[in-house]
Amino acid sequence: MKGTREPFRFAICSECVSAYNLDFPQNISAYYEGYYSFGEDTLTLEQSWRKRAAVGLYAALIVRTGLSRTLRGIFRCPTPRQMRFLSPNLQAFLFVGAKADARILDVGSGRGQFVRMMKTFGYRNAVGIDPFLDPNAELAYVKRRGLDEEEQRYDVILFNHSLEHTTDPEGSLRRCGSLLAEDGVVVVQVPNMQAKELKEFKENWCWLHAPYHFAIPSEIGLKMMAKRCGFRMVEAVCTSRFDHYLYHDEYRRDIGDRDIRSERRKLEDGSFNPQRWRSLSRFAYSLNREMAGDWVAYYLVRE
Protein backbone atom coordinates (compact mmCIF):
# COMPACT_ATOMS: atom_id res chain seq x y z
CA MET A 1 0.00 0.00 0.00
CA LYS A 2 2.82 2.42 0.83
CA GLY A 3 5.04 1.22 -1.98
CA THR A 4 8.01 0.14 0.17
CA ARG A 5 8.29 -3.26 -1.58
CA GLU A 6 9.05 -4.93 1.76
CA PRO A 7 8.61 -8.72 1.52
CA PHE A 8 6.22 -10.54 3.85
CA ARG A 9 5.67 -14.28 3.90
CA PHE A 10 2.16 -15.71 4.19
CA ALA A 11 1.25 -19.30 4.96
CA ILE A 12 -2.07 -20.90 4.00
CA CYS A 13 -3.40 -23.70 6.18
CA SER A 14 -3.73 -26.94 4.23
CA GLU A 15 -6.85 -27.90 6.21
CA CYS A 16 -8.96 -24.75 6.61
CA VAL A 17 -7.35 -22.51 3.92
CA SER A 18 -6.94 -19.55 6.32
CA ALA A 19 -3.93 -17.27 5.69
CA TYR A 20 -1.33 -16.16 8.23
CA ASN A 21 1.35 -13.49 8.03
CA LEU A 22 4.59 -15.14 9.14
CA ASP A 23 6.45 -11.81 9.23
CA PHE A 24 4.05 -9.68 11.26
CA PRO A 25 6.17 -6.66 12.37
CA GLN A 26 6.67 -5.85 16.02
CA ASN A 27 6.31 -2.12 15.29
CA ILE A 28 2.98 -2.50 13.51
CA SER A 29 1.67 0.79 14.91
CA ALA A 30 4.28 2.63 12.83
CA TYR A 31 2.61 1.37 9.65
CA TYR A 32 -0.71 2.97 10.62
CA GLU A 33 0.57 6.53 10.27
CA GLY A 34 -1.65 8.07 7.61
CA TYR A 35 -3.73 4.88 7.32
CA TYR A 36 -6.94 5.42 5.35
CA SER A 37 -9.36 4.77 8.25
CA PHE A 38 -7.77 7.69 10.12
CA GLY A 39 -8.09 10.11 7.22
CA GLU A 40 -10.86 12.48 6.15
CA ASP A 41 -14.11 11.62 7.91
CA THR A 42 -16.50 13.28 5.45
CA LEU A 43 -19.24 10.87 4.43
CA THR A 44 -19.85 10.41 0.70
CA LEU A 45 -23.58 10.77 1.23
CA GLU A 46 -22.98 14.34 2.50
CA GLN A 47 -21.76 15.22 -1.00
CA SER A 48 -24.93 14.05 -2.79
CA TRP A 49 -28.49 15.23 -2.15
CA ARG A 50 -29.82 12.02 -3.73
CA LYS A 51 -27.96 9.88 -1.21
CA ARG A 52 -29.03 12.11 1.67
CA ALA A 53 -32.64 11.84 0.54
CA ALA A 54 -32.43 8.05 0.18
CA VAL A 55 -30.89 7.68 3.64
CA GLY A 56 -33.52 9.94 5.17
CA LEU A 57 -36.34 7.91 3.62
CA TYR A 58 -34.82 4.60 4.71
CA ALA A 59 -34.34 5.88 8.25
CA ALA A 60 -37.90 7.18 8.48
CA LEU A 61 -39.78 4.43 6.64
CA ILE A 62 -37.73 1.34 7.48
CA VAL A 63 -35.53 1.75 10.56
CA ARG A 64 -37.88 3.79 12.76
CA THR A 65 -40.93 1.74 11.81
CA GLY A 66 -39.22 -1.56 12.69
CA LEU A 67 -39.16 -3.01 9.17
CA SER A 68 -35.38 -3.48 8.99
CA ARG A 69 -35.55 -7.20 9.73
CA THR A 70 -38.32 -7.79 7.20
CA LEU A 71 -36.47 -6.11 4.33
CA ARG A 72 -32.95 -7.25 5.11
CA GLY A 73 -32.96 -9.72 2.20
CA ILE A 74 -32.50 -6.95 -0.37
CA PHE A 75 -28.95 -6.53 0.92
CA ARG A 76 -27.90 -10.14 0.34
CA CYS A 77 -26.51 -9.43 -3.13
CA PRO A 78 -26.99 -5.83 -4.32
CA THR A 79 -27.26 -5.22 -8.04
CA PRO A 80 -24.68 -3.00 -9.80
CA ARG A 81 -27.14 -0.10 -9.58
CA GLN A 82 -27.69 -0.64 -5.85
CA MET A 83 -23.93 -0.84 -5.32
CA ARG A 84 -23.67 2.87 -6.17
CA PHE A 85 -25.56 3.66 -2.96
CA LEU A 86 -24.16 0.92 -0.70
CA SER A 87 -20.66 0.60 0.69
CA PRO A 88 -19.55 -2.95 1.63
CA ASN A 89 -19.71 -2.05 5.34
CA LEU A 90 -23.23 -0.68 4.94
CA GLN A 91 -24.41 -3.74 3.04
CA ALA A 92 -22.98 -6.07 5.69
CA PHE A 93 -24.61 -4.07 8.49
CA LEU A 94 -28.05 -3.53 6.93
CA PHE A 95 -28.27 -7.27 6.22
CA VAL A 96 -28.43 -7.73 10.01
CA GLY A 97 -31.80 -5.98 10.09
CA ALA A 98 -31.08 -4.37 13.48
CA LYS A 99 -33.73 -2.46 15.40
CA ALA A 100 -33.44 1.31 15.71
CA ASP A 101 -32.53 1.12 19.39
CA ALA A 102 -29.92 -1.64 18.94
CA ARG A 103 -26.68 -1.18 20.86
CA ILE A 104 -23.95 -1.39 18.22
CA LEU A 105 -20.17 -1.57 18.62
CA ASP A 106 -17.86 -0.96 15.65
CA VAL A 107 -14.51 -2.56 16.56
CA GLY A 108 -11.57 -0.88 14.80
CA SER A 109 -13.68 2.11 13.84
CA GLY A 110 -10.89 4.50 12.89
CA ARG A 111 -12.20 8.04 13.28
CA GLY A 112 -15.76 6.78 13.31
CA GLN A 113 -16.87 7.41 9.73
CA PHE A 114 -19.07 4.32 9.70
CA VAL A 115 -20.42 5.01 13.18
CA ARG A 116 -21.62 8.37 11.87
CA MET A 117 -23.13 6.59 8.90
CA MET A 118 -25.12 4.26 11.17
CA LYS A 119 -26.34 7.22 13.21
CA THR A 120 -27.45 8.92 10.00
CA PHE A 121 -29.51 5.81 9.24
CA GLY A 122 -31.23 6.19 12.61
CA TYR A 123 -29.11 3.88 14.78
CA ARG A 124 -28.56 6.31 17.64
CA ASN A 125 -26.81 3.81 19.96
CA ALA A 126 -23.87 3.09 17.64
CA VAL A 127 -20.35 3.63 19.02
CA GLY A 128 -16.82 2.79 17.89
CA ILE A 129 -13.47 1.88 19.44
CA ASP A 130 -9.98 1.78 17.97
CA PRO A 131 -6.68 1.28 19.86
CA PHE A 132 -4.72 3.19 17.19
CA LEU A 133 -6.93 6.27 17.20
CA ASP A 134 -5.25 9.61 17.90
CA PRO A 135 -6.40 10.66 21.40
CA ASN A 136 -7.18 14.11 20.00
CA ALA A 137 -9.67 12.54 17.57
CA GLU A 138 -11.84 10.99 20.28
CA LEU A 139 -15.52 11.91 20.19
CA ALA A 140 -18.59 11.05 22.24
CA TYR A 141 -19.23 8.09 19.93
CA VAL A 142 -15.68 6.89 19.18
CA LYS A 143 -12.94 6.17 21.72
CA ARG A 144 -9.29 5.15 21.71
CA ARG A 145 -9.36 1.75 23.39
CA GLY A 146 -9.17 -1.95 22.67
CA LEU A 147 -11.85 -4.60 22.88
CA ASP A 148 -10.44 -5.87 26.19
CA GLU A 149 -11.21 -2.49 27.77
CA GLU A 150 -14.87 -2.56 26.75
CA GLU A 151 -17.48 -3.42 29.40
CA GLN A 152 -20.89 -2.59 27.92
CA ARG A 153 -23.30 -5.13 26.39
CA TYR A 154 -24.14 -4.89 22.69
CA ASP A 155 -26.75 -6.29 20.33
CA VAL A 156 -24.46 -6.05 17.29
CA ILE A 157 -20.67 -6.20 17.29
CA LEU A 158 -19.03 -5.30 13.96
CA PHE A 159 -15.58 -6.31 12.76
CA ASN A 160 -15.46 -4.37 9.49
CA HIS A 161 -12.07 -5.61 8.32
CA SER A 162 -10.60 -5.31 11.79
CA LEU A 163 -10.45 -8.93 13.03
CA GLU A 164 -7.72 -9.77 10.51
CA HIS A 165 -5.69 -6.83 11.87
CA THR A 166 -5.42 -8.33 15.35
CA THR A 167 -2.59 -10.54 16.58
CA ASP A 168 -5.09 -12.69 18.51
CA PRO A 169 -8.31 -12.94 16.46
CA GLU A 170 -9.59 -15.86 18.51
CA GLY A 171 -9.04 -13.92 21.72
CA SER A 172 -10.97 -11.00 20.25
CA LEU A 173 -13.84 -13.26 19.25
CA ARG A 174 -13.84 -14.95 22.65
CA ARG A 175 -14.03 -11.52 24.30
CA CYS A 176 -17.23 -10.87 22.33
CA GLY A 177 -18.84 -13.69 24.30
CA SER A 178 -18.91 -11.50 27.40
CA LEU A 179 -20.01 -8.35 25.55
CA LEU A 180 -22.76 -9.70 23.29
CA ALA A 181 -26.42 -9.67 24.30
CA GLU A 182 -28.11 -13.07 24.47
CA ASP A 183 -29.78 -12.75 21.06
CA GLY A 184 -27.04 -10.57 19.55
CA VAL A 185 -24.96 -11.06 16.41
CA VAL A 186 -21.27 -10.65 15.59
CA VAL A 187 -20.52 -9.55 12.02
CA VAL A 188 -17.05 -10.44 10.75
CA GLN A 189 -16.19 -8.89 7.38
CA VAL A 190 -12.86 -10.08 5.95
CA PRO A 191 -11.14 -10.75 2.64
CA ASN A 192 -12.61 -13.89 1.09
CA MET A 193 -10.13 -16.78 1.06
CA GLN A 194 -12.44 -18.47 -1.46
CA ALA A 195 -12.23 -15.48 -3.83
CA LYS A 196 -11.81 -16.29 -7.50
CA GLU A 197 -9.22 -13.52 -7.92
CA LEU A 198 -7.03 -14.96 -5.14
CA LYS A 199 -6.66 -18.17 -7.14
CA GLU A 200 -5.52 -16.17 -10.17
CA PHE A 201 -3.29 -13.49 -8.63
CA LYS A 202 -1.97 -15.38 -5.59
CA GLU A 203 0.68 -13.24 -3.84
CA ASN A 204 -0.41 -10.21 -5.89
CA TRP A 205 -3.96 -10.37 -4.54
CA CYS A 206 -4.08 -6.96 -2.89
CA TRP A 207 -6.34 -8.05 -0.02
CA LEU A 208 -3.51 -9.94 1.61
CA HIS A 209 -2.71 -6.32 2.52
CA ALA A 210 0.69 -6.94 4.11
CA PRO A 211 1.74 -6.22 6.74
CA TYR A 212 -1.56 -5.01 8.21
CA HIS A 213 -3.30 -8.37 8.01
CA PHE A 214 -2.09 -10.84 10.58
CA ALA A 215 -4.57 -13.67 10.00
CA ILE A 216 -7.32 -13.94 7.38
CA PRO A 217 -9.81 -16.65 8.36
CA SER A 218 -11.53 -18.69 5.70
CA GLU A 219 -15.16 -19.73 6.14
CA ILE A 220 -14.07 -23.11 7.47
CA GLY A 221 -11.43 -21.53 9.69
CA LEU A 222 -13.87 -19.01 11.14
CA LYS A 223 -16.46 -21.71 11.80
CA MET A 224 -13.86 -23.72 13.73
CA MET A 225 -12.73 -20.66 15.68
CA ALA A 226 -16.32 -19.58 16.35
CA LYS A 227 -17.21 -22.98 17.77
CA ARG A 228 -14.27 -22.83 20.17
CA CYS A 229 -15.52 -19.40 21.31
CA GLY A 230 -19.14 -20.47 21.81
CA PHE A 231 -20.55 -19.16 18.52
CA ARG A 232 -21.93 -20.63 15.32
CA MET A 233 -22.07 -19.17 11.83
CA VAL A 234 -25.59 -18.68 10.51
CA GLU A 235 -25.10 -16.74 7.26
CA ALA A 236 -22.57 -15.23 4.87
CA VAL A 237 -22.79 -12.63 2.10
CA CYS A 238 -20.19 -11.31 -0.36
CA THR A 239 -19.64 -7.55 -0.27
CA SER A 240 -17.28 -6.83 -3.19
CA ARG A 241 -17.46 -3.62 -5.25
CA PHE A 242 -16.03 -2.52 -8.60
CA ASP A 243 -12.92 -0.89 -7.13
CA HIS A 244 -11.85 -4.14 -5.48
CA TYR A 245 -10.77 -5.39 -8.88
CA LEU A 246 -8.50 -2.53 -9.92
CA TYR A 247 -5.32 -3.36 -8.08
CA HIS A 248 -4.40 -7.05 -8.38
CA ASP A 249 -3.05 -6.65 -11.90
CA GLU A 250 -1.31 -3.41 -10.95
CA TYR A 251 0.42 -5.18 -8.06
CA ARG A 252 1.51 -7.92 -10.46
CA ARG A 253 3.02 -5.17 -12.64
CA ASP A 254 4.74 -3.61 -9.57
CA ILE A 255 2.45 -0.57 -9.51
CA GLY A 256 1.73 0.44 -5.91
CA ASP A 257 -1.23 2.39 -4.55
CA ARG A 258 0.66 5.68 -4.53
CA ASP A 259 2.15 5.22 -8.00
CA ILE A 260 1.05 7.93 -10.42
CA ARG A 261 0.15 5.16 -12.89
CA SER A 262 -2.35 3.56 -10.54
CA GLU A 263 -6.03 3.75 -11.43
CA ARG A 264 -6.56 4.93 -7.88
CA ARG A 265 -5.49 8.37 -9.12
CA LYS A 266 -8.37 8.39 -11.63
CA LEU A 267 -10.82 7.53 -8.88
CA GLU A 268 -9.52 10.40 -6.78
CA ASP A 269 -9.62 13.05 -9.51
CA GLY A 270 -12.93 11.92 -11.03
CA SER A 271 -11.50 10.86 -14.40
CA PHE A 272 -12.26 7.14 -14.05
CA ASN A 273 -13.97 5.74 -17.16
CA PRO A 274 -17.74 5.29 -16.46
CA GLN A 275 -17.99 2.32 -18.82
CA ARG A 276 -15.19 0.53 -17.00
CA TRP A 277 -16.95 1.37 -13.72
CA ARG A 278 -20.14 -0.32 -14.94
CA SER A 279 -18.26 -3.30 -16.37
CA LEU A 280 -16.39 -3.93 -13.13
CA SER A 281 -19.60 -3.49 -11.12
CA ARG A 282 -21.24 -6.24 -13.18
CA PHE A 283 -18.14 -8.40 -12.62
CA ALA A 284 -18.29 -7.82 -8.87
CA TYR A 285 -21.99 -8.67 -8.84
CA SER A 286 -21.44 -11.94 -10.70
CA LEU A 287 -18.72 -13.03 -8.27
CA ASN A 288 -20.80 -11.99 -5.26
CA ARG A 289 -23.66 -14.19 -6.46
CA GLU A 290 -21.26 -17.14 -6.59
CA MET A 291 -19.83 -16.26 -3.14
CA ALA A 292 -16.49 -15.86 -4.93
CA GLY A 293 -16.11 -12.09 -4.50
CA ASP A 294 -13.07 -10.51 -2.88
CA TRP A 295 -14.82 -9.59 0.40
CA VAL A 296 -17.24 -11.58 2.57
CA ALA A 297 -19.23 -10.91 5.74
CA TYR A 298 -19.95 -13.75 8.18
CA TYR A 299 -22.71 -13.66 10.81
CA LEU A 300 -22.18 -15.37 14.15
CA VAL A 301 -24.63 -16.00 16.99
CA ARG A 302 -24.31 -17.79 20.30
CA GLU A 303 -24.09 -21.58 20.09
DSSP 8-class letter at 280: H
Distance between CA atoms of 300 and 189, rounded to whole angstroms?
A: 11
Span 250-256, mean pLDDT? 93
Burial of 113 (0-12, 13-18, 19+ CB in 10 A): buried
Residue 253 has pLDDT above 60, yes or no: yes
Check whether 41 has a pLDDT greater than 70.
Answer: no
- 2 pLDDT exceeds 80? no
Residue 191 lies in a domain: yes
- pLDDT for 46 equals 60
CATH code of residue 95: 3.40.50.150
188-199 per-position pLDDT tens digit: 999 999 999 999
- 21 located within any domain: no
Q: Which domain holds residue 181?
A: 67-302
Q: How many domains does the chain have?
A: 1
Counting runs of H as helices and runs of E as strands, what totals does the chain give?
A: 11, 10
pLDDT band at 25 (very low <50, low <70, confident <90, very high): confident
Q: Classify residue 108: in a domain, yes or no.
A: yes
Q: Read off the pLDDT band of 91 (50, 70, 90).
A: very high
Mean pLDDT of 39-64: 78
Tell me if 2 is assigned to some domain: no
Question: Nearest-CA neighbor of 301 among 114, 176, 171?
Answer: 176
Query: Which H or E run contains 159?
Result: strand 154-160
Residue 100 belongs to a domain: yes
* Stronger pLDDT, 191 or 3, i.e. the higher one: 191
Q: Rounded mean pLDDT of the chain? A: 92
Of the pLDDT bands very low, low, confident and very high (cuts 50, 70, 90), residue 43 is low
Does residue 115 form part of some domain?
A: yes
8 A C-beta contact, residue 185 and residue 300? yes
Confidence of residue 147 (pLDDT cuts 50, 70, 90): very high
- Inside any domain, residue 158: yes
Please indicate, yes or no, if residue 268 is contained in any of the structural domains.
yes
